[in-house]
């Protein structure tokens, strides 16, 4: 490949976009167990350098693994006979939020099922997601992709905000499915403080009842 003007401009544009948006890790290709281990290790090192809170690190780590597995599960672009999916993976941090972005091909036939699942998840409360998760585990209904929807539900439970997704027509057979999930450290901190306050209130109420 020759480093012509067009390619150099493309590289510069990509660099500027990634840097501006806080993207720190990017990978395009096959996603197997070794790749997943490599990325999680690199992401952990990056969070360690930023002195990220341990509970936030665990949450980001969990979501990252789930999104990688979910992409491999739902990708309709298979790399070889071992059923290993292909796609794009990015992770980064901007302001108070860590984000994970994945992209992979999904056929037109599978788009509707995936879209319906995402819409159902986005319209559910945290408590409803918890019940959905329990129900899926209990019933154990597996899709033809080998997943029970547990991955997407679990991602929604661990992240803050809705699952941000888009389907972009790629060719006559496929769409490019792009999923963006975020973990806002400020929201997590506020949720933790609220839970702690509720626990303290229950303790005080219990003391008053005993007295």
Helical (H) or strand (E) element with 151: helix 150-158
User: DSSP letter at 141?
Assistant: P
CA distance 70 to 89: 12
Q: Return the pLDDT at 77.
A: 65
Any idea what the Cα angle at residue 63 is, between residues 193 and 196, rounded to 5°? 10
Q: Strands across the sheet with 86-94, in order? A: 23-30, 86-94, 97-107, 174-184, 164-169
Output the CA–CA distances (angstroms, integers) from residue 128 to 103, 119, 131, 184, in the order listed.
27, 13, 5, 21
**CATH number for region 20-186:** 3.30.565.10
- The pTM assigned to this predicted structure is 0.81
Q: Return the pLDDT at 75.
A: 66
Structure tokens at 49: 């350098």
Torsion over CA: 117, 121, 123, 124 (sign): positive
Single out the residue of 7, 5, 62 nearest to residue 36, CA to CA.
Answer: 62
Helical (H) or strand (E) element with 72: helix 54-74
The helix/strand/coil state of 93 is strand
Q: Return the pLDDT at 147.
A: 43
Residue ranges with strand state E in 121-208 = 164-169, 174-184
Q: Return the pLDDT at 82.
A: 56
Q: Where are the domains of the chain?
A: 20-186
User: DSSP letter at 96?
Assistant: T
Q: Return the pLDDT at 142.
A: 45
Q: Return the pLDDT at 149.
A: 77
Each residue's pLDDT tens digit in the chain (211 positions)?
A: 778 889 899 889 999 999 999 998 888 888 777 877 887 788 778 777 776 678 888 888 888 888 887 777 766 665 555 556 678 989 988 888 889 999 988 888 888 888 998 999 999 998 999 888 888 887 765 444 444 478 889 999 999 989 999 999 998 889 999 999 999 988 888 877 887 888 877 777 777 776 6
Structure tokens at 55: 């509970």
């Amino acid at each position: 490949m020759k480093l012509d003007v067009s390619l150099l401009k493309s590289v510069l544009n990509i660099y500027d976009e990634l840097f501006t948006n806080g993207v720190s890790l990017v990978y395009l290709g096959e996603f197997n167990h070794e790749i997943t281990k490599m990325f999680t290790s690199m992401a952990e090192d990056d969070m360690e350098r930023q002195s990220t809170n341990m509970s936030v690190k665990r949450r980001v780590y969990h979501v990252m693994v789930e999104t990688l597995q979910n992409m491999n599960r739902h990708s309709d672009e298979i790399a070889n006979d071992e059923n290993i999916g292909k796609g794009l993976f990015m992770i980064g941090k901007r302001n108070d939020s860590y984000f994970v972005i994945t992209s992979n091909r999904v056929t037109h036939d599978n788009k509707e099922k995936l879209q319906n699942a995402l819409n159902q998840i986005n319209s559910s409360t945290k408590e409803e997601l918890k019940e959905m998760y329990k129900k899926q585990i209990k019933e154990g209904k597996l899709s033809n992709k080998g997943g029970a929807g547990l991955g997407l539900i679990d991602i929604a439970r661990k992240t803050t905000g809705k699952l941000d997704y888009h389907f972009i027509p790629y060719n006559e057979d496929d769409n490019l499915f792009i999923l963006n999930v975020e973990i806002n450290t400020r929201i997590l901190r506020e949720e933790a403080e609220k839970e702690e306050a509720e626990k303290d209130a229950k303790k005080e109420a219990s003391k008053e009842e005993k007295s």
